[in-house]
Amino acid sequence: MALLDIPLPVFMGQLLIGLINGAFYAVLSLGLALIFGLLNIVNFAHGALYMVGAFVAFLLLDIMGIGYWPSLLLAPVIVGLFGMVIERLLLRPLADLDHLYGLLLTFGLALLLEGAFRHFYGVSGERYAIPDSLQGVFNLGFMFLPVYRAWVIVASLIVCIATWLLIEKTRLGATMRAAVENADLVRAFGVNVPLLVTVTYGFGVALAAFAGVLAAPIYSVNPLMGSNIIIVVFAIVVIGGLGSIKGAVISGFLLGLCEGLTRVFWPEASNIVIFVVMAVVLVVRPAGLFGKAA
């Protein structure tokens, strides 16, 4: 069977790769949009913290024998706590300054983290095995779907929906959004706003680490894995609308699929298609697809 002269297994295979990339884009964009939307911090270290999440999972296994499933919880917690320390010690003193200072600081932090892991582990990458319970494939008739890749898509969807519900439908999320709009008023109700900011930044960083653990068995654990993806993730956040959680998730999955389809019909353009979409969106709708005009 062929679709537009392209064998169906090839077409569906590229579509699947696009969907998996979209799952990573969605989770990473979600964390980035959360941090920018609620805290107004342009977190250029997000890609490096995604890489650190993968390395924490690798080190937990290599040093302590802790496997994939506990690491899926422990690595985001550890990296999230690390992110809270970053916010408290480095970013908070810059809170009243121009956003550019935070961007430059997080950019420097990303270079520092990447350089440190390159020093100790090189750039060849470390192998992280797929857990036994997620080995094998599903036979869909027209193609074989690896179980682990199906799990990545499902896990990403669950985390994205849960985070959206937390921010949009709970009292805690309402308090977070109110603190952005009027911190003094929220503080008057007895809410510890600085602590809320620290926890929110840590949660956004934990999402990056979660994506890193999911990616480790697919791409291997590499100090460059964050810098390879962060520019694309920034483009997706811009397309979805800066600070829009719904926009980050929907744009992440759609642009992953768009990238996969481009790889089928015009492989040479697959690396730039997201940036072309970003340019078109900025011309037609500068606030992004789901963003609010200033």
Q: What is the pLDDT of residues 84-123, one digit of tens each?
A: 999 999 998 888 888 888 889 999 999 999 999 999 998 8
How far CA 146 is from CA of 43, 136, 213, 260, in Å, comes to 33, 6, 17, 17
CA 176 from chain centre, in angstroms, equals 20
Q: Is the pLDDT of residue 58 over 70?
A: yes
pTM: 0.90
Q: Where are the domains of the chain?
A: 2-284
Look at residue 4 in the predicted model and tell me its pLDDT. Answer: 62
Per the CB < 8 A criterion, the answer to whether 55 and 213 are in contact is no
Partners of 6 in the beta sheet?
3
Look at residue 99 in the predicted model and tell me its pLDDT. Answer: 82
Q: Quick one: pLDDT band at residue 288, thresholds 50, 70, 90?
A: confident
> What would the pLDDT profile of 220-274 be if each residue is shown by its tens digit?
899 999 888 889 999 999 999 887 888 889 999 999 889 888 988 888 888 899 9
The mean pLDDT value for 75-82 works out to 97
Look at residue 95 in the predicted model and tell me its pLDDT. Answer: 80
Indicate the class that CATH gives domain 2-284: mainly alpha
> CA–CA separation, 256 vs 20, rounded Å?
7
What percentage of the chain exceeds 70 in pLDDT? 98
Per the CB < 8 A criterion, the answer to whether 219 and 225 are in contact is yes
